[in-house]
Chain A
Amino acid sequence: MKLINQETVEKKMTSRLIMNNVQRAILLMATLFGLVVLGILIYRIVTQGIGYITPEFFMNFASRFPEKAGIKAAIVGTLWVMAVTAPVSFILGVGTAIYLEEYAPKNKFTKLIQINISNLAGVPSIVFGLLGLTIFVRLLEMGRSVLAGGYTLSLLILPVIVVAAQEAIRSVPQELRDASFAMGATKWQTIRRVVLPAAVPGILTGSILAFSRAIGETAPLIMIGALTFIAFLPESVYSGFTVMPIQIYNWVSRPQAEFQELAASGILVLLVMLIILNSIAVIIRNKFQKRY
């Protein structure tokens, strides 16, 4: 039987340990890369964009003159679109999740819905834009309206909400349901009064994150024809509109340096909005999440 040669093992040991430390440093650098990029990104946007953040910036419409340009129409447009997207996607998403978790029989059709949802999550957002353009704008004749944009974004974030809500509902222990049934409650009463209240923090967290994704989406709304230059506020869901990412895109694609700075200001406003939304989601997650 061959024995281990102690000398060679010891000789190799030093290089192996050095290797270990070198690799550790490399891996740490890879990890810190994301941190550094985020730092640079935020630093750049704040230094470039802070100059144009004035009260007028929030009060003015888009303009050919950078000093007069503002983001009012875009902010209001984003709020209009979200007023359509948030309830529609929330009701459809949570409804689907409840169906899949509580009612659906274990058959091929249920499996089809489930596979379908995970595949929809991987479809590029611009393809949803093509869908919105054909179905909502042309076929259902909604035109290039808030409603068409809102519905398109609803379908886009639907899979995200369904998956988040499913996880939240699944984490509610079966004992709670059984206890409710034992008290004579019907299935829907159990879901409404026991399962949903217990799952609501998870559902809300996932939904808010999905809404913040919808707020940042640009491509699908360009497809359905959200306007890049607009000097009025939407009056109803059938009005034309613009949203913040599209206004930013419009500024980014102009060559003058002033418009680049305006774009940075727009991004700053957008990021602050998203940070607020995400913080709300984190607070809900930390405060109300119960562990069973």
Chain B
Amino acid sequence: MGLSNKENRSVSEMIRHNKRKGSSTQIIEKLVPYFLLFCGIISILTTIGIVFTLLVETFTFFNRVPFIEFITSKEWLPFYTGEDASYGIWPLVAGTLLITGIAMIVAVPIGIGSAIYLSEYASQRTRQIIKPVLEVLAGIPTIVYGFFALTFVTPILRTFIDGVMIYNALSAGLVVGIMIIPMIASLSEDAMNSVPNSIRDGAYAMGATKFEVATKIVLPAAMSGIIASVVLGISRAIGETMIVAVAAGSSPKATLDPTESIQTMTAYIVQVSLGDAGYGTTIYYSIYAVGMTLFVFTLIMNLLAQYISKRFREVY
């Protein structure tokens, strides 16, 4: 009973054979990294695309409207004709900041409070119930929050506070805050979880109460992560679109009165693209200038968050 030809070969022969036979395998082996690199480059092209389109169209806009007017004029009246039109970004920025401010007043205490509770007080079981709820809240589309602001929060505000307009900054700001809570809570909780138990135990051994450990030991130790989460929250609030487009109104003005109707940068962009501002008009290019401003604001916030969490991280 002779051994078959195949089984008779030595290992080196098999390798040689496979190398010849496997030419298609080897071509794939060479091509795959290039394809994968191409996938990676798409993300870079996306960034380049964003910056490039914003820059080019914003440049066209500044050919028609002086840059000085854009940053110094206090009136945003793009829909006026001829000489009456005015393109001063300030009212839109003020509206955006008003919304962001209200949102942060809601989101920071509640978000950090939940984070402390979840990381320091909650039992494993409570955490298993609460965390999915926060995940669900984070996954709700913003248009749903917009609907909630307009049909639930606004009527309540109008019953309790005099002079609240149908479209107002307060309702939109509160709901933007609610939307951001899960993000701040989960990022802050991550930061607190990375504080080692040994320093908690040290404080308990000195007779500290749970609350003292949470506020005097864990909070300072996790501070860089918490601040980073707040800064990211600000960035989200600035870029939030549908809640403010639905509930905050469309009257650009610089006011600190939250009961009034305002307009944010994002809501303006939505308003223009829903209208019939034709391609090539100044209004069409103005959304890119506003978009550029928005992009710069959020980029600064994101970079700041990365810097804070890297630079001020306590390493254990």
Q: How far is the CB of B294 from chain A (nearest CB, A)?
A: 6
- Residue B113 contacts which of A30, A37, A228 (CB distance < 8 angstroms)? A30
Report A-chain residues with C-beta under 8 Å of the C-beta of B43: 92, 96, 113, 116-117, 120, 158-159, 162
Q: How far is the CB of A91 from chain B (nearest CB, A)?
A: 7
| CB within 8 Å for A127 and B46 given contacts A44-B148, A260-B151, A270-B144 | no
Tell me which of A19-27, A56-64, A196-204 binds B: A19-27
| CB within 8 Å for A118 and B274 given contacts A31-B130, A267-B147 | no
Bound Cα distance from A19 to B211, whole angstroms: 8
**Which residue in chain A gives the minimum CB-CB distance to B295?**
A127
**For the complex, is B204 an interface residue (Cβ under 8 Å from A)?**
no
Which parts of B142-164 form the interface with A (CB within 8 Å)?
142-144, 146-148, 150-152
**Contact A99–B37 (Cβ < 8 Å):** yes
Bound Cα distance from A278 to B210, whole angstroms: 36
Q: Encode B198-215 as 1/0 by CB contact (under 8 A) with A.
A: 000000000001111011
Residue of B178, B273, B298 with highest tally of chain A CB at under 10 A: B273
**Contact B246–A253 (Cβ < 8 Å):** yes
Give the size category of A's interface with B: 35 or more
Which parts of B98-154 form the interface with A (CB within 8 Å)?
109-110, 113-114, 116-118, 121-122, 130, 133-134, 136-137, 139-144, 146-148, 150-152
| CB within 8 Å for A123 and B298 given contacts A116-B44, A218-B241 | yes
Q: How far is the CB of A6 from chain B (nearest CB, A)?
A: 12
Tell me which of B27-35, B69-77, B253-261 binds A: B27-35
Report B-chain residues with C-beta under 8 Å of the C-beta of A104: 40
Report A-chain residues with C-beta under 8 Å of the C-beta of B25: 186, 189
**Contact A41–B140 (Cβ < 8 Å):** yes
**Contact B53–A130 (Cβ < 8 Å):** yes
**Which residue in chain A gives the minimum CB-CB distance to B269?**
A126
**For the complex, is A8 an interface residue (Cβ under 8 Å from B)?**
no
Bound Cα distance from A218 to B137, whole angstroms: 17
**For the complex, is A188 an interface residue (Cβ under 8 Å from B)?**
yes
**Contact B29–A186 (Cβ < 8 Å):** yes
**Contact A33–B181 (Cβ < 8 Å):** yes
Report A-chain residues with C-beta under 8 Å of the C-beta of B181: 33-34
Q: How far is the CB of B181 from chain A (nearest CB, A)?
A: 6
Tell me which of B2-10, B79-87, B232-240 binds A: B232-240
**Which residue in chain A gives the minimum CB-CB distance to B213?**
A20
**Contact A248–B49 (Cβ < 8 Å):** no
**Which residue in chain A gives the minimum CB-CB distance to B166?**
A255
Q: How far is the CB of B299 from chain A (nearest CB, A)?
A: 7
Residue of A20, A219, A248, A278 with highest tally of chain B CB at under 10 A: A219
**Contact A252–B246 (Cβ < 8 Å):** yes
**Contact A26–B141 (Cβ < 8 Å):** no
**For the complex, is A125 an interface residue (Cβ under 8 Å from B)?**
yes
Which parts of B284-298 form the interface with A (CB within 8 Å)?
287-288, 291, 294-295, 298
- Residue A120 contacts which of B32, B47, B117, B118 (CB distance < 8 angstroms)? B47
Report B-chain residues with C-beta under 8 Å of the C-beta of A131: 46, 49-50, 53
| CB within 8 Å for A41 and B241 given contacts A120-B47, A130-B287 | no
Q: How far is the CB of A77 from chain B (nearest CB, A)?
A: 15
**For the complex, is B229 an interface residue (Cβ under 8 Å from A)?**
no
**Contact B147–A264 (Cβ < 8 Å):** yes
**Contact B241–A124 (Cβ < 8 Å):** yes
Q: How far is the CB of A160 from chain B (nearest CB, A)?
A: 12
- Residue B40 contacts which of A99, A118, A120, A228 (CB distance < 8 angstroms)? A99
Number of B positions contacting A (CB below 8 A):
85
**Which residue in chain B gives the minimum CB-CB distance to A275?**
B136
Bound Cα distance from A216 to B146, whole angstroms: 12
Bound Cα distance from A108 to B233, whole angstroms: 29
**For the complex, is B306 an interface residue (Cβ under 8 Å from A)?**
yes
**Contact A218–B141 (Cβ < 8 Å):** yes
**For the complex, is B190 an interface residue (Cβ under 8 Å from A)?**
no
**Contact A222–B273 (Cβ < 8 Å):** yes
Bound Cα distance from A103 to B30, whole angstroms: 12
Bound Cα distance from A117 to B42, whole angstroms: 10
- Residue B50 contacts which of A31, A40, A123 (CB distance < 8 angstroms)? A123
Q: A35-B130, A122-B299, A124-B266 are in contact. List 18 more A-B contacts (CB 8 A).
A: A20-B209, A30-B109, A33-B110, A34-B114, A41-B140, A99-B39, A123-B298, A124-B241, A127-B291, A129-B269, A158-B43, A209-B139, A222-B270, A223-B269, A223-B273, A249-B143, A264-B147, A274-B141
Spell out B's residues near A (CB within 8 Å): 25-26, 28-29, 32-33, 35-44, 46-47, 49-50, 53-54, 57, 109-110, 113-114, 116-118, 121-122, 130, 133-134, 136-137, 139-144, 146-148, 150-152, 178, 181-182, 185, 209-212, 214-215, 232, 235, 238-242, 245-246, 266, 269-270, 273-274, 279, 287-288, 291, 294-295, 298-299, 301-303, 306
19 A-B pairs (CB sep. < 8 Å): A31-B118, A33-B110, A34-B110, A38-B137, A99-B36, A103-B37, A125-B239, A126-B291, A126-B294, A127-B239, A127-B294, A130-B269, A158-B43, A162-B43, A216-B140, A216-B143, A222-B273, A225-B273, A270-B141
